[in-house]
Structure 1
Amino acid sequence: MTKDRNAFFIDNEWRKPSSTRTFDIINASTGEKIASSPEAMEADVDAAVAAARRAFDGGKWAKAAPKERAAIMTKFTNSITARAEDLARTVSIQNGMPISVSTALEGQFAAGLLQYYAGVAANMAGPEKRPSQMGRETIVEHSPLGVVAAIVPWNFPVTLALSKVAPAMAAGCTVVIKPSPGTVLDSYLLAEAALEAGVPPGVLNWVPADRDVGAYLVSHPGVDKVAFTGSTAAGRAIAQKCGALLRPVTLELGGKSAAIVLEDVDLDAFVQGIPMACMLNNGQACYNGTRILAPKGIYNQVVDAVAGLASSLVIGDALSPETHVGPMASAAHRSRVEGYIAKGKQEARLVAGGGRPKNLTQGWFVEPTVFADVSNEAVIAREEIFGPVLSIISYEDEDDAVRIANNSEYGLGGSVWSSDTARATDIAERIVSGTIGVNGYMPSLGSPFGGVKSSGLGREFAPETVSSYQSTKSIYIMG
């Protein structure tokens, strides 16, 4: 599972790298090197794109009936399911995700995502005939777009890879996947599953690379679409390049979501929901509700409850089933999070955490941290920290809560908590965000997921996603 790798998966073959450069893969819980993998150069990307291009232009995949693609996708699902435990452990070792979370989201949910799109493919409609005002009729066809460059981050590497691979496969596209250097080993397990399932050569190709080579992939002339999940800064650069090329692009970017607590909240239920809605994956989830908005009338009770919850969470090795909060994904990322905590100590009142756990001297751990008396204009309330850091902001009334929630450059997630579901839903409808939860938060298969404003373009996890991997053509029948 954590053995050294020495090849790339290109055209259903284990292809020798073009250089001797490698990535060191580190156990986030111990800081120790566990494996190495080759680092892709431009020549390796050229080979992967060429394989995907051949498979799309000359292979049978794009021309296959949707039900044929669905059958192969189902076999792929079964192969992933058989590796679900290994995938979960591999992810947890690399990025520090608690094993309880990776088992559910990188194992079970990821396999379910692929199976879901197999079902979408199996029920895909053929060409549609529409009335024509100027002729006899119009035939509207939806064809696969072509070669997709899928660029995947380190925080949910399996699910976020398949969130692009699955709809692309359903549409009939071929894919070149660039995983993050920090989470490479899981991509080998996915490649082995694809090979076992009989996914045709060139349909899926994996080339781990750094940012410069990733930029080369984005602008490659053999690529027809880019699908990216990552930081807003990187997303803007990709959007700029794709805009110049008039190349379709999907961007799932950062967030600074608000969790709005109403006066009639069941405070115990809210506290129980924090780990999933506000601090999932050690705070390393783009939709986490890291701004907690509490009414002035119960502000102190909310602060005490959130601080108590943060202080009670078990911090430890990502592979321990008792662990609630694992390490940050890398030493560099821990330093970034700690920089924000230092800033927060100047801007607000620290009520929980704020340092490194004293009993853990190895690995990249940060205590779950809570700040109170936070202004919505504070740096810790404006910028995405991507760690276990919560900011509690007070508000006057519902209109003030909505104003504060919407006063952000981001619009990805969020939640509203109340004993009155209808009231909470009314407020949720006023929040400018691509998604929002009521008395909880978790993306759902079949429902569009994505952001507005600086949180991105496009939607994933839903049947509508397939259309972003298709080209639409109208054939006017005049006589």
Structure 2
Amino acid sequence: MQEHKHFFIGGQWVEPAGTGVIDVISPHTEEVIGRVPDGTNADIDRAVAAARQAFDSGPWPRMTPAERAAAVGRLSAIYAERQQTMADLVTAEMGSPALFSVFAQAAIPQMVLQYYVDLAGTYTWEDERPGMLGPVTVTREPVGVVAAIVPWNVPQFTLMLKLAPALIAGCTIVAKPSPETPLDTYLLAEWIKEAGIPDGVVNIVPAGREVGAHLVAHAGVDKVSFTGSTAAGRAIGAVCGQQLKRVTLELGGKSAAIILEDADLATTIEGFKLASLMNNGQACAAQTRILAPRSRYDEVADALAAMVGGLAVGDPADWGTEVGPLVAKRQQERVEGYIRIGQDEGAKLLVGGLDRRGQDRGWYVAPTVFGDVTNDMRIAREEIFGPVLALIAYDDEADAVKIANDSEYGLGGSVWTADVNHGIEVARQIRTGSCGVNLYSLDPNTPFGGYKNSGLGRELGPEGLAAYLEHKSIPRPA
């Protein structure tokens, strides 16, 4: 069992202000596998003070972008060498299947880190513009102290979406990991120290929601970046709006995968293993509404049920596992509650349901597909955050687009077709921040975020760096 007794604050391992602890429980064995201190408001105050000192008086914001990139590059190199250690740790913490963890819980976070290291050398940090009254210098400066609040589902990825651009911008950071997944941040803190990033630039305090609220409202924080539920995002956005504090919110989703008439069904259904069921269905951008043309509905239903019913469910550390347990007992109860809701609403259970595939230990839910779903059902409108798919029939392409857009969310989506160019035309009509053709993926080079209740702002790409910068105009006489 891993046991940590300190917080990473001001570049040092410091004693917690309180006596509370957070037990990290394996979703597979239901046994305690780690223990860390439970952060308090006093610990947050100390972390913000360290970040404030590092920003107001320390070297980090005063370095050139190239100097900061060199330091972050050292962190990226350490991360690249030790990805498997990080992947194994996240799998143990939250049940992500080993194969998915290697890619999404470790490799992609490192890719994001390296992307921003490289971007620092090509980004326009300052430019000259011919103003109406004379020349103007426009500079980009770091926004200040950043509060980074991350969820448990992809803890390193969501942290890196904030940490990497904030560091390159010259900001300092207080990170609050989720109580379910604090262990990976301790490993990252060790690497940050080894990379020689100055003291106080990154501070990490695991804590619960109430302490997170204290961090959000803290007068010493200049910007909040949050990934999590829409309900929590609304509360955070309200506080930041009241304080006129900069904020980025990456929230929920209920993404639609549109299968067009000409789609190759075998390839499409195989693609849903990742696009729809990634991370045991615990992904905000998962394609959980499957839209099928009525002319092919039965064919799609049979193929989808066969694929989902054949998925290997079990120990997430086993490389053959395709679906592991959910992160917590409460999550298992929530998802099984939605399965009951789907049955009560009149949807047809095609595969899965409340039978846990013989898993009598661990927080498992059988991968499930509902057919005969209409878009007004709760299982089609609410984010379930588990391996539950809703199959919806549509009449024609215009109807498919209408159904896809009939959602309070607008995070992701996909179009599956033999004609990629036509797929792009359909994707342009979907009101979401991203919409793939014959896949769903995120690229560090391009912005990620949502329309409507899926959030505010963008992460990744140059847009993700701009979110941590203020623009200053310096005019002068002609």
Flag whether TM exceeds 0.5 (same fold). Answer: yes
Could you tell me which residue of structure 2 aligns to residue 142 of structure 1? 140
User: How far apart are residue 358 of structure 1 and its match?
Assistant: 4.0
| Alignment of structure 1 residues 39-188 onto 2, 5 Å | 39-134=38-133, 136-188=134-186
Query: Contact 1:71 / 1:118 at 8 angstroms: preserved in 2?
Result: yes
User: How far apart are residue 126 of structure 1 and its match?
Assistant: 3.8
The 3-state SS of whatever aligns with 1:273 is helix
For 1:196, give the aligned amino acid. E
Runs of 4+ in 1 over 2 A off after TM superposition: 122-127, 356-359
Give the distance between the partners of 1:186 and 1:379, measured in 2 at CA.
34
Could you tell me which residue of structure 2 aligns to residue 280 of structure 1? 278
User: How far apart are residue 142 of structure 1 and its match?
Assistant: 0.8
Query: Contact 1:354 / 1:369 at 8 angstroms: preserved in 2?
Result: yes
Give the distance between the partners of 2:357 and 2:317, measured in 1 at CA.
19
Give the distance between the partners of 2:427 and 2:208, measured in 1 at CA.
39
The 3-state SS of whatever aligns with 2:366 is coil
User: How far apart are residue 41 of structure 1 and its match?
Assistant: 0.2
Give the distance between the partners of 2:298 and 2:385, measured in 1 at CA.
25
For 2:318, give the aligned amino acid. S
User: How far apart are residue 124 of structure 1 and its match?
Assistant: 3.2
Give the distance between the partners of 2:49 and 2:182, measured in 1 at CA.
22
Pick from 231, 237, 247 the counterpart of residue 233 of structure 1: 231
Give the distance between the partners of 1:251 and 1:275, measured in 2 at CA.
27
Structure 2 gaps, min length 5: none
User: How far apart are residue 460 of structure 1 and its match?
Assistant: 1.1
Give the distance between the partners of 1:47 and 1:275, measured in 2 at CA.
44
For 2:229, give the aligned amino acid. S
For 1:398, give the aligned amino acid. E
Pick from 250, 263, 266 the counterpart of residue 264 of structure 2: 266
For 2:62, give the aligned amino acid. K
User: How far apart are residue 265 of structure 1 and its match?
Assistant: 0.8
Give the distance between the partners of 1:390 and 1:438, measured in 2 at CA.
19
User: How far apart are residue 464 of structure 1 and its match?
Assistant: 1.6
Give the distance between the partners of 1:16 and 1:86, measured in 2 at CA.
26
* 321-330 or 457-466, larger mean C-alpha shift: 457-466
Normalising by structure 1, we get a TM-score of 0.98
* 105-114 or 55-64, larger mean C-alpha shift: 105-114
| Alignment of structure 1 residues 52-451 onto 2, 5 Å | 52-134=51-133, 136-347=134-345, 348-451=347-450
Give the distance between the partners of 1:133 and 1:382, measured in 2 at CA.
51
Q: Deviations over 1:102-140 (max 9, x none)?
A: 101111111111011011123333421111212x21111
Query: Contact 2:313 / 2:357 at 8 angstroms: preserved in 1?
Result: no
For 1:152, give the aligned amino acid. V
Give the distance between the partners of 2:83 and 2:285, measured in 1 at CA.
24
Give the distance between the partners of 2:99 and 2:17, measured in 1 at CA.
38
Q: Deviations over 1:178-235 (max 9, x none)?
A: 0000000000000001001001100101000100000000000000000000000000
For 2:148, give the aligned amino acid. A
Give the distance between the partners of 1:8 and 1:364, measured in 2 at CA.
29
Structure 1 gaps, min length 5: none
User: How far apart are residue 476 of structure 1 and its match?
Assistant: 1.5
Query: Cα RMSD between the aligned structures?
Result: 0.9
Give the distance between the partners of 2:174 and 2:24, measured in 1 at CA.
21
User: How far apart are residue 357 of structure 1 and its match?
Assistant: 2.4
Could you tell me which residue of structure 2 aligns to residue 15 of structure 1? 14
| Alignment of structure 1 residues 453-472 onto 2, 5 Å | 453-472=452-471
- Identical amino acids, percent of aligned pairs: 49
Give the distance between the partners of 2:360 and 2:82, measured in 1 at CA.
32
Normalising by structure 2, we get a TM-score of 0.99
For 2:382, give the aligned amino acid. E
Query: Contact 1:84 / 1:107 at 8 angstroms: preserved in 2?
Result: yes
Give the distance between the partners of 1:117 and 1:128, measured in 2 at CA.
20
The 3-state SS of whatever aligns with 1:177 is strand
Give the distance between the partners of 2:390 and 2:158, measured in 1 at CA.
27
The 3-state SS of whatever aligns with 1:422 is helix
For 2:262, give the aligned amino acid. D
Query: Contact 1:66 / 1:124 at 8 angstroms: preserved in 2?
Result: no
The 3-state SS of whatever aligns with 2:3 is coil
User: How far apart are residue 79 of structure 1 and its match?
Assistant: 1.6
The 3-state SS of whatever aligns with 1:370 is strand
For 2:415, give the aligned amino acid. V
Query: Contact 1:356 / 1:365 at 8 angstroms: preserved in 2?
Result: no
The 3-state SS of whatever aligns with 1:122 is coil
Query: Contact 2:357 / 2:366 at 8 angstroms: preserved in 1?
Result: no
Query: Contact 1:276 / 1:442 at 8 angstroms: preserved in 2?
Result: no
Q: Deviations over 1:424-446 (max 9, x none)?
A: 11111100000000001111110
The 3-state SS of whatever aligns with 1:62 is helix
Query: Contact 2:28 / 2:362 at 8 angstroms: preserved in 1?
Result: yes
User: How far apart are residue 84 of structure 1 and its match?
Assistant: 1.1
